[in-house]
Structure 1
């Protein structure tokens, strides 16, 4: 099927966001996709904060994005926006790192007041990076995710149903994408990227 890069933008290994992504990775794997995990918190802080474009960890992350057919981007919402560590990584990737890719944005937060963070903060950035298709994302309330000591989670039934739906839509979009060769290095014009 497709190669999916699952990016956790949480600064905490034990966060609900991180655990939710890993839970959804299992669904994508069961659907036949190869899932590669990238936890932004594992990228050295000096590379992110120092904007070290040449750092091996940044080059490796860029390579993972280039290899993927689709990208799942998960983030906690802080101050009505996605996490700073995720922003730092996205800023260091090539301008059109998402060209030709199908992208699923996901967010978690403590209040429905943050539900628009996907559409007003994250989606425009993903589109500006050339994503071919940013599918419908989903915001999950922290209270709908119960973390267990063994690292697993339980998702409240209504949230689980919605998450399954958006993941399945993402998977279907990956299956429907046109078969193309390697993506050319030429940037997508901003008007076309925004329309995707």
Structure 2
């Protein structure tokens, strides 16, 4: 983030030892979407994500169902407690790159994972895209979705104001869901 970015990290109500990560489906490596997802994960947990997957790095390997590196990434995501799934808005939805990666997960494969759908877009006309298109796919995969999806304008991804309202509402809901999952599965607590 640039100097325009205001650090808004506050004491996180999320459980200690929470394993968090990001999965970014932007075809451009190290994109604004990647930076926004990493920022959001940091704002939720108070630290950098434990795992950061930039799907652009896999390229055509995502289409090879026998690729061990992609399969390791799928397994790593399934081992997290909280994942920000992020995509730019393409044709009013999330990217095919993210779709191909999510196709690797079977039904309920994200059971017990708190997921946060995040999409960036050029204008407010697609603000419902993460709620309408990305969130249902994550629900189908069994992810826990305690908050509304987040849509951030490309032009504002570095601005605290783009996140602060959502974070105020989302933090307690994500904390409650994370704590409930830890109580339900004490073996998952680190």
Superposed CA deviations along residues 134-165 of structure 1, whole A, max 9, x for unmatched, are 522110111213xxxxxxxx31x431312433
Residues 62 and 100 in structure 2, CA contact (< 8 A), matched pair in contact too:
yes
Q: Secondary structure at the match of 1:80?
A: coil
Deviation at 1:7, TM superposition (A): 1.0
Q: Secondary structure at the match of 2:120?
A: strand
Aligned partner of 1:60 among 61, 69, 72: 72
Distance across 1 between alignment mates of 2:178 and 2:90: 30
Matched, 1:108 2:124: no
For structure 2, which runs of at least 5 residues remain unmatched after alignment? 1-15
Q: Secondary structure at the match of 1:170?
A: helix
Distance across 2 between alignment mates of 1:69 and 1:124: 19
**What's the counterpart of residue 72 of structure 1?**
84
Distance across 2 between alignment mates of 1:40 and 1:171: 27
Matches within 5 A, 1:148-163: 154-155=158-159, 157-163=160-166
**Hey, which bits of structure 1, 4+ residues long, moved more than 6 A?**
none
Q: Secondary structure at the match of 2:88?
A: strand
Residues 76 and 108 in structure 1, CA contact (< 8 A), matched pair in contact too:
yes
TM-score, normalised relative to structure 1? 0.76
RMSD (CA atoms): 2.3
Distance across 2 between alignment mates of 1:24 and 1:107: 11
**What's the counterpart of residue 174 of structure 1?**
178
Higher strand share: 1
**What's the counterpart of residue 51 of structure 2?**
36
Distance across 1 between alignment mates of 2:126 and 2:56: 22
Q: 1:103 to 1:80 in 2, by over 3 A?
A: same
Q: Secondary structure at the match of 1:133?
A: coil
Distance across 1 between alignment mates of 2:41 and 2:32: 14
Paired positions, count:
170
Distance across 1 between alignment mates of 2:33 and 2:170: 15
Distance across 1 between alignment mates of 2:29 and 2:67: 22
Residues 72 and 106 in structure 1, CA contact (< 8 A), matched pair in contact too:
yes
TM-score, normalised relative to structure 2? 0.78
